Amino acid sequence: MNKMIDYYFATPSPWAYLATPRIIELKNKYNVEINWKPADLMEIFAIHGVANVKDRPKPVQLNRLTELGRWSKFLNMPLNIQPKYFPVDPTLSHKVIILAQKNNIDIKNLIFSFQRAVWADEKDISDENVIIEICKNNNFESNSIITDANSEEIQGEFKKNTEEALSRNVWGSPTFIFNNELFWGQDRIEFLERAIQNN
């Protein structure tokens, strides 16, 4: 039986951006399968009483910026700690990811491209033209991507991801669940790797 990681994330999450390349490394290193599960982080925050970034105490906001700078340097990943298009509505990007999955597209690079667009490329992932450009660059081309992504079927799958995340006590992005054990945050990936090794 293949080992499986359920990865709950939001595309504008900087911590998910920092995590995704290392999750791909784990996938390749240990031959684990990744269930990529974009979810509605704002709904999750609201239900669990987690404040949005702009509503957090000033010291918390300042520390977040400091940590983003530290981690981007440590991981040698480009990151604008205050990007032009943040916060941004990720709903369309999430639904496009689900659509791509249903079309058997290898979505790991598509997901990272959406994340990188926010944090390194200064692009607005709520813009349909940006979405289409990113899809094209990841070999996902269709004249009906936007229409199909907004279908009731895809919206239902997106809602299901969010409800599932809530039922499994997910409260932030990125969250990884392996063997029924939850790991929250890109700084818990080493613990996730140990769990994979010991399984």
153-175 pLDDT, tens digit each = 999 999 999 999 999 999 999 99
Closest CA to 165 of 31, 69, 26, 37: 37
Q: What is the pLDDT of residues 129-151, one digit of tens each?
A: 999 999 999 999 999 999 999 99
pLDDT single digits (tens) 96-111? 999 999 999 999 999 9
pTM summary value: 0.96
Q: How far apart are CA 126 and CA 140, in angstroms?
A: 18
Peptide bond into 12 cis (omega under 30): no
> Any idea which fold 4-198 has?
Glutaredoxin (3.40.30)
Domain boundaries, the chain: 4-198
Query: Can you state the angle between helices 108-119 and 14-30, rounded to 10 degrees?
Result: 150
pLDDT of 1: 58
Average pLDDT, the chain: 97
Q: What does the pLDDT read at residue 2? A: 73
User: Per residue in 119-131, pLDDT tens?
Assistant: 999 999 999 999 9
Burial letters for 159-193: b for 16+ Cβ neighbours within 10 Å, e otherwise?
eebbeebbeeebbbbbbbbbeeebbbbbebbeebb
